[in-house]
Structure 1
Amino acid sequence: MIFNRYRRGLFITSFLAAPVILYVVYVISPYIQAFYIAMTDWRGVSAMPRFIGLDNFERLLDDEKFWLAVTHNGVLLLLLPLITIVIALFFAFLLNVGGGHGGRKGIWGSKFYRVLFFFPQILAVAVVAVLFQQAFRPDASGMVNAPLMALGIKPIGFLSEPAVAFWSVLGVMIWQAVGFYVVLFSAGLASIPRDMFEAAQIDGAGRISLFIRVTLPLLWDTVQVAWIYLGILALDVFAIVWVMTDQHGGPDSSTTVMAAEIYRNAFHYSYFGYASALGVVMFFFTIGFAILALRLSRRERIEYQ
């Protein structure tokens, strides 16, 4: 018995060894190097950077632009998961449960709508950024402003006015993310036995009560995963801000985020040591959020046959 367990353990270990080694070399090792570089004054050219301890982190405390970026990421962290999940749950419920026959099936054409909602996911983030950059142009060539100008309304500077630019970026991120979570929640709803919906409706549950008391509790694990993924997206957002906005986070730093400041310090100013320190801070923000979200959203799992 002991010999068989040893052989089985050796067999499993032999298969796991290669991926574990690759993970250590290409994931864990760069993290360790980043922590070391964060405590140096490396400018990207010297082979032996000078060790300066925690000086980069002390400098970070007085970096107003970085803390402005942290504030923007914090607002995204609050609003992006909330709005995206609410919209995605609404559409998923409508497509899968909110149709005819007493609400036990989705609306007509639900399969087509799932494909339509998912479409933004097949586009690269840079492509989405360029498309909306053109759509938000503050002249007659902009798809959004052209109808407004035709009606005699002054064009809106979606990406040129500091008070509007950040919310434009948030809107684009929501537009791109909703489709994936509609499909994710639809898959979760499809796994829930229809008998539960029928029993709730026989007991007199309306659509709102059906959603709150039946759908949401049974879909909670999926919602929890979506919340964490969207939170990480809000903290790590970079490409859509860098490509779509003026001055790569403008105007006047009104849309800058942590990843943009890391890239700017590393590749524009060649402050690789300081950029690594910013990256370490963002790493702990992201890990801390994931742990906190898992703990706060933990609840007793509901099982059904």
Structure 2
Amino acid sequence: MRHGKARFVTGFLALPVLLFAFYVVWPFAQAVGYSFTNWGGYSNKQDFVGVDNYVKLFQDELVHKAFWHNVFFLVTVPLFTIALALFFAFLLNVGGRGDKAGIRGVFGSSVYKVIFFFPQVLSLVLIAVMWQQIYRSDDQGLLNGLLIKLGLIDADKPNLFVADPTPILGIPAVLWWLLLIAVWSGVGFYMVLFSAAMQGIPKDIYEAALLDGAGRVSTFVRITLPLLRDNISVAWVYLGITALDMFALVYVMTPSQGGPDHASEIFASVIQFTAFNRGQFGYACALGVALAIFTMLIAALQLRITRRERIEF
């Protein structure tokens, strides 16, 4: 029976594993191989250069700038997205008035869930194109037009938004505007994720806390957050991976796909520029491998830090 079961399972898994190995593992292995060459991408000439590409990326000023921009997103995107998602989820599930029916969410919570989740049905490129019109750096842009109508800015001096490299708190302004889009597009999904987790928490716990005189803030901090720790940990890992990408937003929305003056460069945009503009595919593969390793290390570190015994309720 055991051998028969093993053959049955192997029969179902063989084809998916082969497809995964061919379309995922093998291309990644090829990229690792190319990263040790000076391949130009448009010819078969490949000279082995050893670890020269990896030494070069540690000395490349553009890579350094892109790395710190990615670190900015790695810190801010999960932080703001999770904070807002938790806040909205708490309001929609246990933020309303308590009555004979027990603790409930705010009035119309089901409608709010649909509204907040709506960006998830749109592709990231479509979101980028939509926000490109909102951020237009002339009086035809939605934000600039609104600010001009309100008399807050002059019509001949519109805001540049994603074309503005001026530092704000030491960070180029363009990165703050891209951060707003990333948070707006992601908060709805994680709000629904946390809402589902909150609905699994017995309402008796909240009602007992309120009867003991606990306020909404203390209830959120002492009950909700500890019981959602596993969900928050998973969300942080996924958002961290998203923050280390950000390529679609940068490519569609910023001038010269990483501008102005490299103010919005990230690892992914440097890889694209290095491969297709400079024709240095070997070096671009080294950058891609370095980004993949960094992403896996960040994910493993996050899971290790947040690991603990599961709370049963």
Please classify the TM superposition score into its range, dividing by the shorter chain length. over 0.9
Tell me how far 1:296 sits from its aligned partner.
0.8
SS of 2:256's equivalent in the other structure is helix
Alignment-derived partner of residue 162 in structure 1 = 165
What is the alpha-carbon distance in structure 2 between the residues aligned to residue 243 and residue 157 of structure 1?
16
What is the alpha-carbon distance in structure 2 between the residues aligned to residue 258 and residue 269 of structure 1?
15
> Per-residue CA shift, 1:71-126, capped at 9, x if unaligned?
00001101110111000000000001101225711111111111100111111111
Asked if residue 6 in structure 1 is aligned to residue 3 in structure 2, the reply is yes
Alignment-derived partner of residue 115 in structure 1 = 114
> Per-residue CA shift, 1:106-152, capped at 9, x if unaligned?
11111111110011111111111111111112222111111211233
SS of 2:42's equivalent in the other structure is coil
Moved over 4 A (4+): none
Tell me how far 1:294 sits from its aligned partner.
0.4
What is the alpha-carbon distance in structure 2 between the residues aligned to residue 7 and residue 138 of structure 1?
66
For residue 86 of structure 2, the aligned residue among 81, 86, 89 is 89
What is the alpha-carbon distance in structure 2 between the residues aligned to residue 15 and residue 148 of structure 1?
59
Asked if residue 18 in structure 1 is aligned to residue 15 in structure 2, the reply is yes
Map of 1:85-234 to 2, 5 A cutoff?
Answer: 85-101=82-98, 104-154=103-153, 155-163=158-166, 164-234=173-243
Map of 1:279-290 to 2, 5 A cutoff?
Answer: 279-290=288-299
What is the alpha-carbon distance in structure 2 between the residues aligned to residue 261 and residue 29 of structure 1?
23
Tell me how far 1:177 sits from its aligned partner.
0.7
| Structure 1 range deviating more: 112-121 or 151-160 | 151-160
Alignment-derived partner of residue 169 in structure 2 = none
What is the alpha-carbon distance in structure 2 between the residues aligned to residue 241 and residue 48 of structure 1?
32
**Unmatched segments (≥5 aa) in structure 2:** 167-172
Root mean square deviation of aligned Cα: 1.3
SS of 1:80's equivalent in the other structure is helix
Tell me how far 1:18 sits from its aligned partner.
1.4
| Amino acid corresponding to residue 187 of structure 2 in structure 1 | V
Pairs aligned (count) = 301
Alignment-derived partner of residue 73 in structure 2 = 76
Alignment-derived partner of residue 239 in structure 1 = 248
- Normalising by structure 2, report the TM-score: 0.93
> Per-residue CA shift, 1:165-212, capped at 9, x if unaligned?
111011111111111111111111111121221122222221011111
What is the alpha-carbon distance in structure 2 between the residues aligned to residue 270 and residue 191 of structure 1?
53
Alignment-derived partner of residue 248 in structure 1 = 257
SS of 1:248's equivalent in the other structure is coil
**Unmatched segments (≥5 aa) in structure 1:** none
What is the alpha-carbon distance in structure 2 between the residues aligned to residue 255 and residue 300 of structure 1?
40
Alignment-derived partner of residue 64 in structure 1 = 61
Tell me how far 1:259 sits from its aligned partner.
0.4
What is the alpha-carbon distance in structure 2 between the residues aligned to residue 62 and residue 210 of structure 1?
50
- Normalising by structure 1, report the TM-score: 0.95
| Structure 1 range deviating more: 4-13 or 50-59 | 4-13
What is the alpha-carbon distance in structure 2 between the residues aligned to residue 237 and residue 139 of structure 1?
25
Tell me how far 1:300 sits from its aligned partner.
2.0
| Amino acid corresponding to residue 300 of structure 1 in structure 2 | E
